[in-house]
């Protein structure tokens, strides 16, 4: 038997699993509101309920996103190269990228970083043996700053000693270069350091020290656990072909994907090569806390959609104001349900657009070709909706709010073309992600049987 508990920003949920015929079977599942003043209260409530049906010395595994994720500021040189590699390291570690800067920092940038109160500044730049001046300049400005957070250097390895000397009075950590050469992004070591920093930071949260005493280990960041679970599902070939998770919560929308590199004679790639597994998180797209910021991200488009469906934009704005403060609010009538559905479709469509890439046709002396940037999602065959709203939604959100075909600049958006949509109806993904640390093969085999397919 195994108990898995996930502490979210709104809900704390848990499950008691047993291993049966190569799968993890849910014997009991419990949910309660997260007790933000002391996270251990909600945790203990769930643990107590689950232990009523457990027996023996049942191990307990825990993850948490209640801390909100480490706030990370990324600094690189070229936006499509070192800065993008820094983004990949930060997001795959479960962090929240709050600021990003390229090329040379200036005094205004430093003030902006200081005001954002990051948990980590990820300083990158240069391939190994490459650029020196930008990195040393940026390190000098960071050294003179009032920042009291951890600074993680993961740039040109030739400058490690110089960066150490410059930042000697700061909380400096060193990791391998996230982009040692242009063809081989290498975010793993930086990712591991960020995760370790998260683990040491998160246990300072209210009540988490007592959770550590109960379980014997610190909660892992939920996004990092889910990222590892996606990697496991891909390795175990749990789904046929490329697949993705869309985890939409009240504050953010996370998009995870396992995507093959698509090459072709007529495709010219721009930027770094995309990794097989990727996570992106949209802090302005959410169903409750971020409802108003979702509107402001593209107000004209969203209000036009409201009007096209025969709804009143003023009433929609009143509803968004209400749910952004009453974060546990459940719609009570048909109009409010339509507002929620529209907001959910907008968030999922925009999260998909931002996670994916674009391409445009150009003409060369050898004929036509496509310049492609970012991630090609067209071959995704399986999409899984999870998080509170999508787990409960018995519908495909893209059916009512499809991803646009092109950008406003006329570039094709590389979104999924033909796919099967499932919902994580028991909201098990974060709980199975935890369980995978002890029972990887069983956890990989257990997701698909617990999904509900949405059919036409």
Angle (CA) 155-225-218 rounded to 5° is 90
pLDDT given for residue 268 in this prediction? 80
Q: Where are the beta strands (DSSP E) in 154-233?
A: 171-174, 220-221
CATH annotation of 2-67: 3.30.420.40
205 Cβ contact list (under 8 Å, min separation 6): 39, 64, 66, 67
> Which phi and psi angles does 25 have, rounded to 5°?
-105, 130
**Domain locations in the chain as residue ranges:** 2-67, 70-199, 224-454
Q: 70-199 adopts what CATH topology?
A: Rossmann fold (3.40.50)
Closest CA to 446 of 21, 23, 19: 23
- Cα separation, 413 vs 249, in Å, equals 24
Closest CA to 369 of 378, 377, 360: 360
- Cα separation, 432 vs 327, in Å, equals 26
> Which phi and psi angles does 212 have, rounded to 5°?
-60, -40
- Cα separation, 419 vs 380, in Å, equals 6
pLDDT given for residue 340 in this prediction? 92
Q: What is the pLDDT along the chain (456 residues), one digit of tens a residue?
A: 999 999 887 789 999 999 999 999 999 999 998 887 888 899 999 999 999 888 878 999 999 887 666 789 999 988 878 778 888 888 877 777 889 999 999 999 999 999 999 989 999 998 999 989 999 999 999 999 999 999 999 999 999 999 999 999 999 999 999 999 877 788 889 988 988 887 776 656 667 778 888 888 878 888 889 999 999 999 999 999 999 999 998 888 999 999 987 666 688 878 777 889 999 888 888 898 889 988 988 889 999 999 999 999 999 999 999 998 887 788 999 999 999 999 999 999 999 999 999 988 888 777 888 888 889 999 999 999 998 889 999 999 998 889 989 988 888 999 999 999 999 999 999 999 999 999 999 999 999 999 999 987
DSSP symbols for 270-311: ESSPPPSEEEEEETT--SSTTHHHHHHHSHHHHHHHHHHTT-
- Is the Cβ–Cβ distance between 167 and 139 less than 8 Å? yes
Closest CA to 306 of 334, 346, 349, 333: 346
Q: What is the pTM (predicted TM-score) of this model?
A: 0.86
Helix (H, G, I), strand (E, B) or coil at 253: strand
Biggest alpha carbon–alpha carbon distance for the chain: 73
Closest CA to 351 of 277, 245, 242, 424: 245
Residues comprising the chain, all counted: 456
- Is the Cβ–Cβ distance between 370 and 268 less than 8 Å? yes
- Inter-residue long-range contacts of 392-400, CB under 8 Å, 24+ positions, other chains counted: 392/423, 392/425, 393/341, 393/344, 393/423, 394/423, 394/452, 394/454, 395/341, 395/454, 396/421, 396/454, 397/341, 397/344, 397/345, 397/348, 397/349, 398/345, 398/348, 398/349, 398/352, 400/341, 400/342, 400/345
């Amino acid at each position: 038997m195994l108990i898995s508990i996930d502490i979210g920003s709104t809900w704390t949920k848990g499950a008691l699993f047993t291993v049966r015929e190569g799968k993890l079977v849910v014997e009991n599942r419990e949910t309660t509101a997260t007790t933000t003043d002391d996270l251990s209260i909600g945790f203990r409530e769930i643990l107590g309920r689950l232990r009523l049906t457990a027996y023996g010395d049942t191990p307990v595994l825990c993850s948490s996103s209640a801390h909100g994720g480490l706030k990370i500021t990324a600094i690189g040189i070229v936006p499509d190269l070192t800065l993008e590699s820094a983004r990949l390291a930060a997001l795959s570690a479960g962090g929240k990228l709050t600021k990003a800067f390229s090329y040379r920092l200036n005094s205004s940038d430093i003030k902006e970083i200081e005001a954002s109160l990051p948990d980590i500044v990820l300083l990158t730049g240069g391939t190994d043996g490459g650029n020196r001046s930008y990195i040393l300049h940026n390190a000098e400005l960071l050294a003179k700053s009032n920042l009291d957070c951890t600074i993680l250097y993961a740039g040109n390895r030739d400058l490690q000693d110089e960066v150490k000397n410059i930042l000697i009075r700061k909380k400096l950590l060193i990791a391998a270069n996230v982009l040692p050469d242009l063809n081989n992004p290498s975010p793993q070591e930086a990712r591991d350091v960020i995760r370790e920093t998260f683990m040491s930071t998160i246990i300072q949260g209210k009540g988490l020290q007592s959770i550590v005493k109960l379980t014997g280990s610190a909660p892992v960041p939920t996004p990092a656990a889910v990222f590892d679970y996606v990697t496991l599902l891909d390795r175990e070939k749990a789904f046929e072909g490329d697949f993705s998770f869309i985890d939409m919560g009240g504050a953010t929308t996370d998009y995870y994907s396992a995507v093959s590199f698509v090459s072709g004679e007529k495709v010219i790639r721009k930027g770094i090569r995309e990794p097989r597994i990727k996570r992106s998180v949209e802090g302005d797209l959410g169903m409750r806390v971020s409802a108003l910021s979702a509107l402001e991200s593209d107000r004209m488009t969203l209000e036009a959609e409201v009007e096209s469906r025969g709804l009143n934009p003023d009433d929609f704005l009143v509803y968004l104001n209400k749910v952004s403060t009453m974060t546990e609010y459940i719609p009570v009538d048909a109009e409010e349900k339509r507002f929620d559905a529209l907001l959910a479709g907008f968030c999922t469509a925009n999260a998909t657009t931002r996670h994916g890439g674009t391409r445009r046709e150009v003409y060369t002396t050898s004929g036509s070709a496509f310049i492609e940037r970012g991630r090609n999602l067209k071959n995704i065959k399986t999409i899984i909706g999870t998080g509170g709203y999508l787990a409960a939604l018995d519908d495909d959100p893209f059916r009512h709010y499809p991803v646009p075909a092109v950008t406003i600049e006329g570039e094709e958006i590389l979104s999924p073309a033909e796919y099967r949509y499932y919902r994580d109806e028991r909201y098990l993904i974060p709980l199975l992600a935890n369980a995978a640390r002890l029972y990887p093969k069983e956890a990989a085999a257990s997701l698909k049987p617990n999904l509900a397919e949405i059919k036409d």
